[in-house]
Structures are given as C-alpha cells and as structure tokens.
Structure 1
C-alpha cells in the first residue's frame, strides 16, 4: 500500500509541477513572440503635407524621396513659365488694341487688324488662366503626394503577409491546378 500511495503522490507532484511549469514558459514565450513595437506616428502624413504646402518639395524631402523634388519643381516651373509668357503676350495684344483705339499704329503688331488683336487677347487670356489652374493643380498634387507617401511609408509589407501563386495537384483527377494563397504567419 505504501508503494501505491508513494506512486500516486509522485505522479501528482511531478505531473502538476510539469503542467504549471509548462504554462509559465509558454506564456512567456508567447508574450515575447507576439508583442512587437511598431513605431507608427499618425501625424507624419500631416507634417509632410504641411511642409509641402509651405515650400513645394519640402514634404518629399521629409519623406526622403529626394528624386521627386526635381519633378515637383519642373512641373511647377513649367506651368509658371507658361503663365508668365501668356500674360506677357496678353498684355502686348491688349496694349496694341488700346493704342489702336486711341489712333496710334506705331506698334510691332501693326500688321494685324482689330479683330485679330481681340482674338489674340482672348487666346492668351485663356492660356494664362489655364496655366494658373495647372499651376494650382500641380501645387495641390505636390501636397497630396507628400501626404500619401508619408502614409504609405508606415504600411507593413513584410514576408509574414504575402500573396503567392501556387500549383497543386487535384486529388481526384491528378491534374495540376493553379491557385492563389494568402499566407499570414504569426
């Protein structure tokens, strides 16, 4: 009977100690594996947009996308150039038409009649206004690009989340099937 009692006592003592020890180590391992600190700053997109609004291209520099800065200045510079050029030609045609109405014909557009001067004014005025709108659109696009790029920098793209094509055999017909799997590893 003492052997029987000793065996039961030994079983419960060792068995419960193993169960409790196992639970403790599993809890510690799970906590270490699953808790990862991601430094996500929700204000980063707002900062990048603000910097781009203050000075075009500064938001791209904040996002460390330096190759986009010449594109921003190229787009804005080209549209500002066309605005200035169209405005200069508009004023030239308008001043020539005004001097024509006052009776002077000693300008460099003397070979044009009044209808052509009015058509030239309208043409360059429309191009000037369109260039101003394109400049504002590129300015807004600069701000939006900095904002979206800053938001996407924080997007998680690691190997634990992947979509891969897979070729697997069919169990019934033994032909190969093509599929798409979504794998997420914890």
Structure 2
C-alpha cells in the first residue's frame, strides 16, 4: 500500500517538477529589464548642487529642488534686510554729514538738534545698518542650508516599512477614545 502511494505521489509530482524550466541567458536579461526596482535612484551630488546654486544666485537651490513656494520667502527675507540696510545707511550718512558740516562751521538742516543728538542718531542708524547686514548674511546662509537639507531629505526613503502613526483606539474599560502612537518597523 505504501509502495503504491509513493509511486502515485511520484508520478503526480513529475509534471510540477518538469514545468519549472530554467531560463536561459536571454530570458534572464528580459526579466531584469522588466523588473521594477523598489528603491529610487539616489543622486549623491544633488545636495551639493542645490547648495551651489543657492550660493551663486539665492533661491535657485529651491528651484532646483522644485520647492517653488520657498522662493518668495527667500527673496522677501533677503530683500527686506537689504531695504533696511540701504535705508539705515542713507540716514547714517545724512546725520554724519550734518555733524561734519557743523564741525566745519557750515549750516545744516538739523539746527534743532545739538551735537550729542547728532552723534546719537549716527550711532543708532549705524547699529541698525550693521544689524540689517548681519540679518541679510544670515538669511543668505539660511537659504543655502535650506536648499542643501531639502535636497538631502528629498532622497530620504519614506515607505511603509518604517512608520510612526497616530492611532485612535477605544478603551475597553471606560468606552472612551484614546490617542496612541504606533512605531512599527517591518523587515
């Protein structure tokens, strides 16, 4: 009985074994070309390109990263700082020239201000001019760093194998909704 069962099992399994043909080299190439890769291509030079573009022309790194909505923020921050730099520089030179003219004995439009007030005005506008220049440089550097970090994060692999999801679940004891946080990692 066992012998008949083994022969029957062997004969019935033969078509399954023979149906699995081994692909030749040409078929293997077709399979590789048609297969879909799950991991996207990583460009290691993309962050440095984005930083270089932003350093040469502010905002171009954001355009390279296709984050067009950041462009008005970059130009707004740098442009506002530049406006205040120019405005404070103009007023600083105005009060400085008035003070120099007063020391030279030439009359000026600021006769209602004494010398100490002119010196205070110079210091005030010089401090604000320097602060505006510092902010403009900080926004310029922030523009470069933002383009670099954004290009790095665009290549970051975010898939369902690693997820951090908020979850609402019902508490069995109180019958109320509770908020939970689930961290899952799938191999």
TM category, shorter: 0.7 to 0.9
Helix, strand or coil: the match of 2:108? coil
Cα drift, residue 156 of structure 1: 2.5
Distance 1:108 1:185 in 2: 76
Q: How does 1:58-69 map to 2 (within 5 A)?
A: 58-69=60-71
The correspondence for 1:36, drawn from 23, 35, 38, is 38
Is residue 124 of structure 2 the alignment partner of residue 116 of structure 1?
A: no
1:91 alignment partner in structure 2: 93
TM-score by length of 2: 0.75
Is residue 49 of structure 2 the alignment partner of residue 72 of structure 1?
A: no
The correspondence for 1:48, drawn from 22, 25, 50, is 50
Q: How does 1:1-186 map to 2 (within 5 A)?
A: 8=6, 11=9, 36-104=38-106, 106-162=107-163, 163-165=165-167, 167=169, 179-184=180-185
Distance 1:99 1:70 in 2: 42
Cα drift, residue 12 of structure 1: 5.7
Q: Any gaps of 5 or more consecutive residues in structure 2?
A: 23-31
RMSD over equivalenced CA pairs, Å: 3.4
Cα drift, residue 6 of structure 1: 6.5
Q: Any gaps of 5 or more consecutive residues in structure 1?
A: 25-30
Task: For residues 52-84 of structure 1, give each alpha carbon's deviation from its aligned partner in whole angstroms, at most 9, with x where no partner exists.
Answer: 000001001101111111111111111001001
8 Å contact from structure 1 (residues 166, 181) kept in 2: no
Helix, strand or coil: the match of 1:158? coil
Cα drift, residue 167 of structure 1: 2.7
TM-score by length of 1: 0.75
